[in-house]
C-alpha cells in the first residue's frame, strides 16, 4: 500500500524566513499530489495540487511545491512566511486510479512574530 | 449551506454504546468520503460513496463500522459496540464528482470520545 512521509513533525520559524516542508511518497506508478492546510480552529483546506505537466505548482497564499519524480518527493515551499501561516500542513497522494487520499502525519508550522 | 457540515461537533459515549455521526455535503456534490484522524496523525480513509452506493469501503477497520447515504446526499457513519480505540476525529469530505482531479472539501469533523 502507498504511504506518505512527512519527516518534520514541528517546524518553528521567524516571520520572513523561508519555508520548505518535506513530503515523500512510496508508490511507483502515476500519482496525484496534494498539500492541505489546517489553520487553528478551522477545517482542512486545499493549498495546491499536482496532476501532470509543469512539476512546479503554485498554490494559494504564495505557496508552491515541486514534484521530483526521481525522488518521489513533493516538497512545499514559501519564500517568506508570515505569522498567519501558523497551521498544520498535510501532504496527501492518490495513486492514478484511486479516489481516496492517503495523508502524511502532518507538520505543525509555528511562525513567531 | 456553503460548506460541508457535520453533527455533532463533539460526542462523548461509553464503551459498548452505539453512535451515529452525520455528514451534510455541499449541495450537488455526488462523491462523499469519510476519514478518521487520530491524535498526531493524518486523516485515514474509511469509505467513500458515489451517489447512494458505497464505491469503496476498504478503509473501514471492522464490521462494527457501517455507513449509509440513502438519498445520495446526507451520510451517516454508524459505530456499534464502541471501543476506547475508536476515539478520534471523524472527518467528512465531498467533491463534485468522483475522479482523481476533484478537490475534496472537508467538514469540521466530529470529535468522538469513548470512555
% of chain B with per-residue pLDDT over 70: 96
- B1 has a pLDDT exceeding 60: no
Cβ <8 Å between A100 and B48? yes
pLDDT at B100: 61
pLDDT at A63: 97
Cβ <8 Å between B42 and A4? yes
Distance between CA B45 and CA B102 in Å, rounded? 16
Closest CA to A27 of A88, A107, A90, A104: A104
pLDDT tens, position by position, A49-98? 998 899 999 999 999 999 999 999 999 999 999 999 999 999 999 887 77
pLDDT at A29: 84
- The label of the residue with cell 458505497 reads B54
The model's confidence at residue B2, banded by pLDDT at 50, 70 and 90, is confident
Chain A contact present for B32, CB below 8 A: no
Using a CB-CB cut-off of 8 Å, the residues of chain B touching A30 are none
pLDDT at B101: 67
pLDDT tens, position by position, A7-31? 899 999 999 999 999 999 998 888 8
What does DSSP say about strands A87-95 and A102-103: parallel, antiparallel, or unpaired?
A: antiparallel
Chain B contact present for A60, CB below 8 A: no
Amino acid at each position: 500500500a502507498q504511504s506518505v512521509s512527512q519527516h518534520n513533525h514541528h517546524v518553528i520559524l521567524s516571520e520572513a524566513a523561508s519555508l520548505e516542508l518535506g513530503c515523500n511518497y512510496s508508490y511507483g506508478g502515476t500519482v496525484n499530489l496534494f498539500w492541505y492546510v489546517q489553520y487553528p480552529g478551522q477545517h482542512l483546506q486545499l493549498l495546491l495540487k499536482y496532476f501532470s505537466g509543469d512539476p512546479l505548482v503554485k498554490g494559494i497564499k504564495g505557496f508552491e511545491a515541486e514534484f521530483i519524480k526521481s525522488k518521489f518527493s513533493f516538497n512545499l515551499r514559501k519564500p517568506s512566511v508570515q505569522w498567519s501561516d501558523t497551521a498544520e500542513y498535510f501532504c496527501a497522494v492518490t495513486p492514478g486510479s484511486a479516489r481516496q487520499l492517503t495523508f502524511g502525519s502532518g507538520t505543525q508550522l509555528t511562525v513567531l512574530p | 449551506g456553503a460548506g460541508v457540515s457535520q453533527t455533532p461537533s463533539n460526542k462523548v459515549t461509553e464503551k459498548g454504546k452505539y453512535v451515529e455521526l452525520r455528514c451534510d455535503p455541499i449541495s450537488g456534490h455526488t462523491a462523499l468520503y469519510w476519514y478518521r484522524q487520530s491524535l498526531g496523525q493524518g486523516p485515514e480513509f474509511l469509505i467513500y460513496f458515489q451517489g447512494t452506493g458505497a464505491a469503496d469501503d476498504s478503509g473501514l477497520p471492522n464490521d462494527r463500522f457501517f455507513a449509509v447515504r440513502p438519498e445520495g446526499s446526507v451520510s451517516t457513519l454508524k459505530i456499534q459496540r464502541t471501543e476506547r480505540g475508536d476515539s478520534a476525529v471523524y472527518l467528512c469530505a465531498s467533491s463534485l464528482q468522483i475522479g482523481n482531479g476533484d478537490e475534496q472539501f472537508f467538514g469540521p469533523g466530529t470529535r468522538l470520545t469513548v470512555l
